[in-house]
Structure 1
Amino acid sequence: MQTRRSFFKNIGWGIFSFSIFSQTPFSAFAKKLGITKKEPSVFFTTGFKLMEVTDHSVLVWTRVCKQAEPNPITHQRKETVFRHPIDFDETMPVNHMDGGVEVGHGFVQVLIRGRGKDWTSDWLEAMPENDFTIKATFDNLPSATSFQVFLRAKEELGSNEIQEVEGTFTTAPSPDQIVPVLFTTSTCQYFWSFDDEKRGFQSYDSMRAMKPDFFIQTGDYIYYDKPGPLAKNLEQARHKWHAMDAWPSLKDLFRQTPLYMMKDDHDLLKDDAHPASEAYGDLTFADGLKLWYQNVPLDQKPYRTIRWGKDLQVWMVEGREFRTPNPEPDGPEKSIWGKEQMDWFKESVEASDASFKILVTATPIVGPDRENKKDNHANSVYQQEGKELRKYLSAIPNLFVVNGDRHWQYVSNDLETGLMEFCSGPISDYHSQGWDADDYRPEHQFLRLKGGFLSVKVERVSGQAQITLAHRDVKGAVVHQQVFEKALG
């Protein structure tokens, strides 16, 4: 078989002619002259994520794929909330499903470059037991430094055919640095609630345009228990991750923005999931945990805190793994967080000297929530811990709660304690439901039955630390914001 290089050599055109032809699509010449070119065999179709960035480290995650683009969207959707697909065959093979991506074996190497120095991983093998995902952790990095990231993939170690993608990120500043910081947060994204047929979700492109320092996804990243398909086994559950990660708007944000992910019930098992939940079809709570950590491979506990300079510290708490089962009677021992996590939180938040403290929780602490809900601190089923937690948090100066899970945007001020809670609302307008837009309660300072995201900005204004929490629509326009200066305390 004649290769492209030998073709040019044999006809005697040399390097000059090669440089001309390299600017022209090769396929046109190959077709005429019978020259074949082997197509790539591995791809980064579901992107990569720059996770758990600190002032000295980053975790790079990706998945090896066997097709260049996800399957096209072929089903029409209902004109109702969530936009469920019409006439979807739940029994079809997942490799035929809308948004599906075939994944497979390969090797990945990660290189990061900053301040004139390179850090390079080994060639890491993507294996079926991990759904062909890999992670590479880099430590001992300089703080407040911008890095380029390069990922290379090949099917076999001896192969010369390499796929490459690249991105950027910046490590956090040290805790004594006074620097402005902007982050965004969102929640609740069902694949079929997309609002851009080519890109996926407009909110992600709107966030990317803002160039946030980092992004926190507060749970329900996917929905195992919504159709298209209903994920009642491991193969269908994995498909949900593949299809969501392949949306271009997500891939483009994640390639340049540090990401922190939290889990909630729908991307773990089913609605209101807890450790004693019955299986969802063949999918168990343990299966959900395994899949979660394949896609969000933390190097530490699922509850953690990040410091971003002198003026901001953020706590992300875990609400599913350690909770007392929802149906058990309320009382002093019933908990969503569990004792170990509660002790960790109190110790770390009391030790912090950050100007502002943000508690990010997948579910509400203040609410109000619907009377029929039974799995968060705003509900009666966890009333005792919720009441104690609101009292404790409200006594900490300059602390605010940011939550996900609810399908509407709101700001609430707890009538008993004054604790402030900001809910980002769902990722798209199509996903918004569950509350009456006219049901404006006394604790509500803002209420909007639409989708979008929340941005949080911390900066110094005339030497005074200031925080701005802004609700935005899917296009990024501010629909409500509140500004606070650091209170003495």
Structure 2
Amino acid sequence: MKQKSRRSFFKKASISLASFSLSSLLPPVLATGLNQRVFKIEPEVYFTTGFKTAEVSSNSALLWTRICSQPKPNPIIHKREEKVFRHPIEFDENMPVEQMDGAVKGIGGLVRATLLNAGKNIKSEWYPALEENDFTVEIPFDELKPETAYQIIWEAKLINSENIFETRGFFQTAPDSNSRKPIQLVTSTCQYFWSYDNDTRGFDSYDSMSRLNPDFFVHTGDYIYYDKPGPLAKTIAKARHKWHAMDSWSSLKDFFKNTPIYMEKDDHDLLKDDVYPTSDAYGELTFNDGLKIWNENAPIRNKPYRTFRWGKDLQMWLVEGREYRSANKLEDSPQKTIWGSAQKEWFQETVKASDATFKILFSPTPVVGPDRDAKIDNHANKSFQNEGDWLRDYLSAQKDMYVVNGDRHWQYVSVDGKTGLMEFGSGPVSDAHAQGWDQEDLRTEHRFLRVNGGFMGINVFREGDKPVIIFTHYDTNGNSVHEERFPES
């Protein structure tokens, strides 16, 4: 309780500072000629699409941002259909991208970040924000202290300019593997720009997650939807626009100011539904285009599959389900795979090496399900049953290991009838995105089923000396709708 109070005070007292522009305090450049005086005012740069602190470990973090030439995104002018997904009405797919709802133009310049702790600062070099990377920048920090609070000072400027725009944020590094610090995380999946709850702030779930003051956030894929209208992202420019519009929602920007993120991709934020490496292009957008744009916007170090330790009692694995998979429609066999052989070998080695009390596999797609009979792209489907059976057998043999999955547009808790493996589906980020399952279709695997939106919270702590983990499903307003509690077995 004391730790949380100190952290809340740090945020309120030190972090919630308004962004400001030093250039507004500087005099204009005066030019003269032909008895005229012309004031040349250099354009501002802005953090309109926010910033993220990612891949946080006990001694490192990866910072991401994009610099922009406009202070606010374009306003929303289209009305929406009153049905699932809330598609925009009469949206002109051929209008210039810079005129679309939520559009935010980028601008070239330089970015620098400084980390502050206990009066000491760690300052990065100036990093270029280049058009070829959609003006995004990633700044790595290493040799940080475990379980330590850092204030972030972001600075951006135009090249050859001294006028600096500044904004601030906060994060804490993970505790080391001997720490018994309580951990609270949140996770969600499946968010489509037009399924927003509020036309000013965006998604209520993000504001609700903020109120829980989590240590970090895991997004399990489908952060955006290339293959839903408003626009259909069949070009690189339209695909990049989807990221700009999503990241400029106020609820997301405010959440990521103080909450680290770990990201996984799935099909819709890579190219299109059920995609695999040899899939056809989506319009002009190819699989490799999708990978480049993903890497511009999702701050990840090294390989897309990785593991992170948060103290003595928690380790998590984030896996890659699209880059290494076989074609979905191939006949199933022991060789057919979603993960690929290298990832499977890495996963087994790192799980074996772990002495964490609780282990969580974050999977972009279901492992247990149940799923719809027509689906063919995940481990809960018959099309990947060989690898699915292997994975369920392997996971259930591990002590205190659970699966948290994305992709499904409903909330659930399920137990595999053969192995006893438990899976938790967080559900989509908004009610408008919930669909695909009948609320009355309660299967034997289900311990909980709710066809609506929200998110999930996971708490790891100790009662006396006994480790406990709690999985809680929340609605979009942050009300608890279901809880599962497990002591160390």
Kindly indicate whether residue 489 of structure 2 is the aligned counterpart of residue 482 of structure 1. Answer: no
Q: Which moved more, 1:323-332 or 1:220-229?
A: 323-332
| 1:39 Cα offset (Å) | 6.7
Residues 354-369 of structure 1 aligned to structure 2 (within 5 Å): 354-369=356-371
Map of 1:252 onto structure 2: 254
The one of 89, 92, 105 aligned to 2:92: 89
Identify the residue that residue 132 of structure 2 maps to in structure 1. 129
Task: Check whether the contact 1:127–1:133 (CA below 8 A) recurs between aligned residues.
Answer: yes
For each residue in 1:13-34, what CA deviation from the matched residue of structure 2 results, as whole angstroms up to 9, or x when unmatched?
A: xxxxxxxxxxxx99xxxxxxx9
What is the distance in 2 between the residues matched to 1:440 and 1:204?
A: 29
State the AA in 1 paired with 2:63: V
TM-score by length of 1: 0.92
CA RMSD of aligned residues (A): 1.4
1:323 to 322, 325, 350: 325
Residue by residue, what CA displacement relative to the aligned partner does 1:108-150 show, whole Å, maximum 9, x if unpaired?
Answer: 1111111332111111111111011111101001111000000
Any idea what SS the aligned residue of 1:479 has? strand
List aligned pairs for 1:84-483, cutoff 5 A.
Answer: 84-156=87-159, 158-483=160-485
**Count of aligned residue pairs for this structure pair:** 455
Q: Hey, what does 2:12 align to over in structure 1?
A: none
**In the alignment, is the contact (CA less than 8 A) between 1:40 and 1:161 conserved in 2?**
no
| C-alpha distance in structure 2 between counterparts of 1:228 and 1:438, whole Å | 32
Is 1:40–1:163's contact at 8 Å kept on the other side of the alignment?
no
CA displacement, residues 143-200 of structure 1 (integer Å, 9 cap, x when unaligned): 11000000111112x3222110000000000001111000000000000000011100
Q: Which residue of 2 aligns with 1:8?
A: none
The 10-residue stretch of structure 1 (288-297 or 440-449) with the greater mean CA deviation from structure 2: 288-297
Deviations 1:327-368 (A, max 9, x none): 111000001001100011111111111110000000000000
**Cα drift, residue 450 of structure 1:** 0.3
Offset of residue 462 of structure 1? 2.2
Contact 1:329 1:381 in 2 (8 A): yes
Contact 1:115/1:145 (8 A) holds in 2: no
> AA paired with 2:254?
D
Mapped to 1, the partners of 2:117 and 2:383 lie a distance apart of: 50
Tell me, in whole angstroms, the C-alpha distance in 1 between the residues paired with 2:116 and 2:372: 49
Deviations 1:6-61 (A, max 9, x none): xxxxxxxxxxxxxxxxxxx99xxxxxxx9979475210000000010000001110
Counterpart-to-counterpart distance in 2, 1:84 and 1:101: 20
TM-score by length of 2: 0.92
Contact 2:63 2:299 in 1 (8 A): no
* In the alignment, structure 1 residue 62 sits paired with structure 2 residue 65: yes
SS at match of 1:410: strand
2 CA distance for matches of 1:448 and 1:467? Answer: 21
Q: Deviations over 1:192-248 (max 9, x none)?
A: 000011100000000011110000000000000000000001000000000000001
Partner of 1:7: none
Deviation at 1:467, TM superposition (A): 0.3
Aligned-residue offset at 1:71: 0.3
- Partner SS, residue 384 of structure 1: helix
SS in 1 for 2:258: coil
- The code of the aligned residue for 1:256 comes to N
| Equivalent position amino acid for 1:188 in 2 | C
Q: How much has 1:104 moved relative to structure 2?
A: 1.5
Counterpart AA for 2:356: A
Query: What is the deviation of 1:314?
Result: 0.5
The separation in 1 between residues aligned to 2:367 and 2:328, in whole angstroms, is: 16
Aligned to 1:22: none
Give the counterpart letter for 1:189 in structure 2.
Answer: Q
Q: Separation in 1 of the partners of 2:138 and 2:69? A: 18
In 2, Cα distance between the equivalents of 1:314 and 1:36? 56
Ranges in structure 1 where 5+ consecutive residues have no aligned partner: 1-24, 27-33
| Structure 1 residues 399-450: Cα deviation after superposition (integer angstroms, max 9, x where no partner) | 0000000000000000011000000000000000000010000010000000
Instruction: Give the CA deviation at 1:297.
Output: 3.4
Q: Which runs of 4+ in 1 moved over 6 A?
A: 34-37
Q: Tell me if the contact between 1:407 and 1:426 (Cα under 8 Å) persists in the aligned partners.
A: yes
Provide the secondary structure at the position in 2 that maps to 1:255: helix
CA distance in 1, matches of 2:50, 2:277: 31
Larger Rg: 1
What is the alpha-carbon distance in structure 2 between the residues aligned to residue 194 and residue 297 of structure 1?
A: 24
Q: Which amino acid aligns with 1:201?
A: F
Structure 2: segments with no counterpart, 5+ residues? 1-23, 26-36
Alignment partners' CA distance in 2, 1:189 and 1:298: 20
8 Å Cα contact 2:116/2:151 also seen in 1: yes
Q: Match of 2:483, SS?
A: strand
Alpha-carbon distance in structure 2 between the residues aligned to 1:393 and 1:52: 24
